[in-house]
Structure 1
Amino acid sequence: MFKLRFGGGIALTAAMLAGCGVATASPHGDSPIPSEPTLINYVDPSMVQGLSTRSLNAGETKGRRVHATYPAIADAPRLTEKLLKTVTRSLNRFTWHDVPADALPNPEFNVDWQLAAASPEVLGVRLRIGQSTGSGWSESRTTVWYDRASRRALDSPGLLRDGAALTTLAGIVRSELALRGPLVNPNALRPEPSMFDSIGFNPRGDLVVEFDDKQVGLGVAGRVAVAVPSATAAPLLSATGLRAQRASVRTATLTSQKDMLAASMDRPAARSSMAGTVDCAKARCVALTYEDGPGPQTGRLLDILGAHKARATFFSLGSNASAHPELLRRMRDEGHLVANHTWSHRDLSVLPPVMLADQLTRAQYAITQAIGQVPTLMRPPYGVTDEQVAAISRRLGVSVVRWSVDAEDRHDPDPRAIARRTIARVKPGAIVLMHDFHHATVDAAPAILRELTAKGYTFVTVPELYGPRAMEPGRTYDSGAMPTVLEKQSLS
Structure 2
Amino acid sequence: MAVHLSTRIPRLLCAGVVLTLLSVSGCALGTAEGAPRLLTVQPKRIDGVSLEKRSMDVDGLRISTVHPVVPGARPFSTEIRTTMAEQQTAFMTAREGDGEASLEQKAEFLAASDDVLGARITTRRANGGSEASASATTRWYDASTGEVLPWTALFRGEDAIRATAAEVARVLHEEEGVELDEQPEGLGQSAISAAPSNAAEDAPSDPVEVAAEEAWKLAAKLDGSPLEDVGFGTTGGLIVSFPGEPGEEGAGERSVALDADFTRPLLSAFGERALTAATSEEKEEKVDLGNAPSAAGPTPTLDCARVPCVALTFDDGPGKHTGRLLDDLADYSAKATFYVLGTMVEEAPDVVARAAREGHEIANHTWKHDDLTGKSGKGVAADLARTAKAIEKATGTPPRTMRPPYGAYDDTSLKHTDYPVIMWDVDTLDWMNRDTRKITKIATTETTPGSIVLFHDIHAPTIDAIPTVLRTLHEQGYHFVTVTELFGDTELEPGTIYRRRD
Common topology (TM > 0.5): no
TM-score, normalised via structure 2 length: 0.44
TM-score, normalised via structure 1 length: 0.45
* Greater Rg by CA: 2
